[in-house]
Structure 1
Amino acid sequence: MASLITGNTRPVRLADIAKAAGVSHGTASNVFSRPEIVREEVRERVKAAAEAMGYAGPDPKGRLLRAGKVNAIGVASTEPLSYFFDDPFARVMMAGISEACDATGAGIALVSAGNKEKLAWNIQSALVDGFILFCIDGGPRLVELTRERKLPFVALELGFEDDTVSAIGVDNVAGARLAARHLCELGHRRFAVLSLQFADDRTGLVSPEQIEAAVYTGTRDRLTGYFEELSRFGVDTAKVPVYETENEEVSTRAGLETIFAGAEPPTAILAMSDRIAMVAIEWLAERGMKVPGDVSIIGFDGVPDGALCDPPLTTIAQPIIEIGRRAARMILDFDGAVRRETLDVEMVVRASSGPPPPGN
């Protein structure tokens, strides 16, 4: 950071250093940007003048902005900054983004905030060439703010019906059908759904009207896939409770309390994320219920943590790292085109799913 000249309120400039050292402005500039082409004696004289006047060097932001490209991607979320490190899906996604950035020498700036005002400031002030949006919560707000920056951006969710938004994701309907079919073929007929959010700032049991009015159509698509397959096996989906969570422990546990307080608790849980599913496994174990002996659980994501939980989690696996790679390349190689890419999912069968208890 530049210091002030003694007795003056004007910040020290490179021209001041050049004058004090008795060199041209260009020579002084080369000392900081291309020192190898400046004689050692001149370099030392310029550096001594800079140190005496409290000058740390040219502002790198100005140089980058003049170049028109800063060679960095902003990864934005309305979640707290800890989300990028705590959430298993986010961690794997960041690995894919990092891999693409490492290949080109690009940097990554994490952009998040706990309130709308700070988020707007962080988006507006981020020194990046474009944004990757984690549209888990607050997605429409993220899209609105990044549009205002007039920089390229891509949403990690295909659930925006606005086809002017570049997005990359998976076929949520197809993945959800695989999950429901697997449990139905095992013999289950009593189900519950622990969902991601249909709209911001809301949790609890959801009504058909709330589902239809979903802001996040990706969540609605997963439920559509579940219900289409359950109906094919004769399950009355009107009787299947759907509890909207915030994809974290507190709301997931509240959902489980609600669901298992009913007269006919489910023998199978369709969880819209692996994180939700792993919380459910823990909650059931605390109450002496066996997975899958009493309740089968299937997740959705395919994060590495799922293979390590007890029992290992059956899940619908997304190609998370590849999604991250492609999203980063959309920004790094931006050519002005809007792109919407859908990648395939696969079912990974592990030990958390099995037949229902006898008599169910």
Structure 2
Amino acid sequence: MTGSPHLRRPATLASLAAELGVSRTTVSNAYNRPDQLSAPLRERVLEAARRLGYPGPDPVARSLRTRKAGAVGLLLTEALSFAFRDPGATGFLEGLALACEKAGTGLLLVPVSPEHSDVDAVYQAGVDGFVVYSVSEDDPHFQAVLQRPLPTVVCDQPSGVQGVDRVGVDDRAGMLALGRHLSGLGHRRVGVLCMRLGARRQDGPADLDRQTGSTYSVQRERLAGLRDAFDEVGVDWADVPVHERFEHSEEAGAAGAKALLDARPDITALVCTSDLLAIGALREARERGLRVPEDLSVAGFDGIPEAERIGLTTVRQPFRDKGREAGRLLLERGDRNTSEQVTLPTELVEGTTSRALRQSGEFFSGW
């Protein structure tokens, strides 16, 4: 059976132009350059297109002709769901989407796993430029991005890549302020729960070599800021337990806090390098019967909405502004051939999960 003779083939640009008695350029302009046509003529073209079933210009053919894909690629070295469940990534994505909307361009998510080296998704992405969201310095997908002759903007990490724009915060200074806040409250026996320090999965204690050799510069800088703060008051960093969690979730925070508190039940403050980890740590503290902040002070980093709701002591950073700035750097680049580095401000939030250390039944009042 060859099909019904009554079925009409979809109209093409050429057949639509012939039907209307206009040039193919006129039909094309009705879709791509409407300012070139009068309103009545454009409406006549579009009405005929609807009537004849013309779907509009082929976007693939158009991209080949203009050499523009009309989309920004967002590289995430995480599962796709990460962009919609991680509060920081969600805020960043919102800001980037707003910048794309303003420029009239699309946004293509390119999620890849940090544990796999297949880079085909990067090479095959039909985009006009890349925004890279927080990847390690040796990530193969990021190296694949750099091999493509397209403008690229990094958010957070890696830092210091020659010829690549970057937007981020001063993670070291932000964590230094948090560490000074806790040391000023008298805390000397502290523990640290940090996000992943390398592409290889590891959950557990992280020694100084792993901390300083981390390929994730954000974590490296946050740990360095804490180290600076407690070094100021004579705390030997070698005595500070640092535990690492590969996954970034409340569950990982709870599991990490359990392992750390089992190993060092004497700590009086637990510093987490993200709010999600800190929220999980708070859950573990409650399950252990520890009062926060009376028995244990807990602090995070990020300033996500849930942290604000529960009164977490943290360092707030502007995720949505990061997304906006990343979009601006990429979409308003023009003919600029020098890289820009944008550092946005952070803010220490002194919440209700930290307090002065008790000394002999009284509040600590300073050293």
TM-score (norm 2): 0.82
Contact kept in structure 1, 2:193 and 2:243, CA below 8 Å: yes
What 5-or-longer segments of structure 2 have no aligned partner? none
Contact kept in structure 2, 1:74 and 1:130, CA below 8 Å: yes
Deviation digits for residues 82-107 of structure 1, max 9, x if unmatched?
11110111111122222322333333
Tell me the CA shift for residue 22 of structure 1. Answer: 9.4
Contact kept in structure 2, 1:230 and 1:237, CA below 8 Å: yes
How do 1:140-219 and structure 2 match up within 5 A? 140-203=139-202, 204-219=204-219
For residue 58 of structure 1, what is the aligned residue in structure 2? Answer: 57
Q: SS state of the match for residue 300, structure 1? A: coil
For residue 104 of structure 2, what is the aligned residue in structure 1? Answer: 105
Residues in 1 aligned to 2:24 and 2:141: alpha-carbon distance in whole angstroms: 42
For residue 257 of structure 1, what is the aligned residue in structure 2? Answer: 258
For residue 341 of structure 1, what is the aligned residue in structure 2? Answer: 342
Tell me the CA shift for residue 268 of structure 1. Answer: 0.6
Q: Percent identity?
A: 30
Paired residue type of 2:298:
I
Paired residue type of 2:79:
P
Which stretch shows the higher mean deviation, 107-116 or 203-212? 107-116
Q: SS state of the match for residue 315, structure 2? A: strand
For residue 269 of structure 2, what is the aligned residue in structure 1? Answer: 268
Paired residue type of 1:172:
D
> Does structure 1 residue 26 correspond to structure 2 residue 30?
no
The alignment's C-alpha RMSD in Å is 3.3
Contact kept in structure 1, 2:17 and 2:24, CA below 8 Å: no
How do 1:11-22 and structure 2 match up within 5 A? 14=12, 17=15
Which stretch shows the higher mean deviation, 206-215 or 132-141? 132-141
Tell me the CA shift for residue 264 of structure 1. Answer: 4.1
> Does structure 1 residue 240 correspond to structure 2 residue 240?
yes
Which stretch shows the higher mean deviation, 111-120 or 122-131? 111-120
Tell me the CA shift for residue 40 of structure 1. Answer: 4.7
TM-score (norm 1): 0.84
Which stretch shows the higher mean deviation, 90-99 or 184-193? 90-99
Q: SS state of the match for residue 321, structure 1? A: helix
Alpha-carbon spacing, 1:101–1:264, altered in 2? closer, same or farther (3 Å): same
Residues in 2 aligned to 1:225 and 1:307: alpha-carbon distance in whole angstroms: 22
Contact kept in structure 2, 1:214 and 1:220, CA below 8 Å: yes
Contact kept in structure 2, 1:156 and 1:168, CA below 8 Å: yes
> Does structure 1 residue 290 correspond to structure 2 residue 291?
yes
Deviation digits for residues 30-87 of structure 1, max 9, x if unmatched?
497369537959964x766x65xxx744321321442333443222201111111101
Tell me the CA shift for residue 13 of structure 1. Answer: 8.8
Tell me the CA shift for residue 244 of structure 1. Answer: 1.3
How do 1:290-329 and structure 2 match up within 5 A? 290-309=291-310, 312-329=311-328
Contact kept in structure 2, 1:74 and 1:129, CA below 8 Å: yes
Residues in 1 aligned to 2:159 and 2:122: alpha-carbon distance in whole angstroms: 20
Contact kept in structure 2, 1:14 and 1:28, CA below 8 Å: no
Tell me the CA shift for residue 342 of structure 1. Answer: 2.1
Which stretch shows the higher mean deviation, 199-208 or 223-232? 199-208
How many residues of Structure 1 are paired with residues of Structure 2 in the alignment?
347
Deviation digits for residues 105-139 of structure 1, max 9, x if unmatched?
33322221347779633323333221211124687
Tell me the CA shift for residue 260 of structure 1. Answer: 0.9
What 5-or-longer segments of structure 1 have no aligned partner? none
Alpha-carbon spacing, 1:142–1:342, altered in 2? closer, same or farther (3 Å): farther
Residues in 1 aligned to 2:59 and 2:18: alpha-carbon distance in whole angstroms: 22
Alpha-carbon spacing, 1:38–1:348, altered in 2? closer, same or farther (3 Å): closer
Contact kept in structure 1, 2:250 and 2:278, CA below 8 Å: no
Alpha-carbon spacing, 1:107–1:260, altered in 2? closer, same or farther (3 Å): same
Tell me the CA shift for residue 352 of structure 1. Answer: 1.0
Residues in 2 aligned to 1:341 and 1:184: alpha-carbon distance in whole angstroms: 30
Which stretch shows the higher mean deviation, 131-140 or 349-358? 131-140
Alpha-carbon spacing, 1:337–1:258, altered in 2? closer, same or farther (3 Å): same
Paired residue type of 2:197:
F
Paired residue type of 1:85:
F
Alpha-carbon spacing, 1:165–1:25, altered in 2? closer, same or farther (3 Å): same
For residue 37 of structure 1, what is the aligned residue in structure 2? Answer: 41
Contact kept in structure 2, 1:313 and 1:352, CA below 8 Å: yes
> Does structure 1 residue 125 correspond to structure 2 residue 129?
no
Paired residue type of 2:57:
P
Contact kept in structure 2, 1:73 and 1:131, CA below 8 Å: yes
Q: SS state of the match for residue 75, structure 1? A: strand
Contact kept in structure 1, 2:293 and 2:354, CA below 8 Å: yes
Residues in 2 aligned to 1:327 and 1:172: alpha-carbon distance in whole angstroms: 17
